[in-house]
Amino acid sequence: MEKTKSPELVRLGENIRELRAKVGLSQEDLALQAGLDRTYLGGAERGERNLTILSLLKICRPLNVSLSILLEGVGE
Amino acid sequence: MEKTKSPELVRLGENIRELRAKVGLSQEDLALQAGLDRTYLGGAERGERNLTILSLLKICRPLNVSLSILLEGVGE
DNA sequence: TTGTGACTCCAAGTCCGTG
DNA sequence: CCACGGACTTGGAGTCACA
């Protein structure tokens, strides 16, 4: 049915990927520190997952950024 | 039995309620404009709901604010 | 090191109602 | 107008094997 990934989630994924690269972590490393599964994080970076705030927060902690930085450019 | 609600979600709920009051909408009106259920929005304002980004986005549009304003003070 | 499909389980989210 | 509950459907959370 609905195959279109929403651009907001794609943008969020790009943000995560960029910030992760900046900190020099692999998906697996970041996932570990965030307490998430490696494949889950990967899906998020690809814009395939509609994350909840609590998941977002898990991710931004090891990245040392605030929610608003993680969400920069999302939904405008 | 005490459902410990996470402080981040409580804070988010307070933000929504405040911003909604500022715009002068009832929960039902905002829910309608956001395309969400009124009971769900109510639960969100009470900090009982872990919203997804896409829902957050739906809420901030009729409120005329950005995500970062909606999420001010959440998770820091 | 990352992408992907398939899977289970429970929460996201809807719709009916009540005081 | 809002808090809250029951019953329900959809989709997010979380994991795995394999590419």
Domain boundaries, chain B: 7-64
Radius of gyration for chain B, computed over Cα atoms and rounded to the nearest angstrom:
12
B46-54: average pLDDT: 97
- Low-confidence spans in chain A with pLDDT less than 70: 1-3
> Which superfamily does B7-64 belong to?
lambda repressor-like DNA-binding domains (1.10.260.40)
d(C-alpha B69, C-alpha A26), whole Å: 31
Overall average pLDDT of the B18-44 stretch: 97
- Candidates B10, B12, B50, B53, partner chain A, best to mutate (most A CBs within 10 A): B53
CATH 1.20.120.1630, applies to A7-62: no
pLDDT tens, residue by residue, B54-68: 999 999 999 999 999
Quote the pTM value. 0.92
pLDDT of B76 over the 90 cut: no
Closest chain A residue to the Cα of B65, Cα to Cα: A76
The DSSP string of B1-42 is ------HHHHHHHHHHHHHHHHHT--HHHHHHHHTS-HHHHH
Q: How far apart are CA B69 and CA A20, in angstroms?
A: 24
Yes or no, beta carbons of B66 and A76 under 8 Å apart: yes
Instruction: Report DSSP state, residue A15.
Output: H
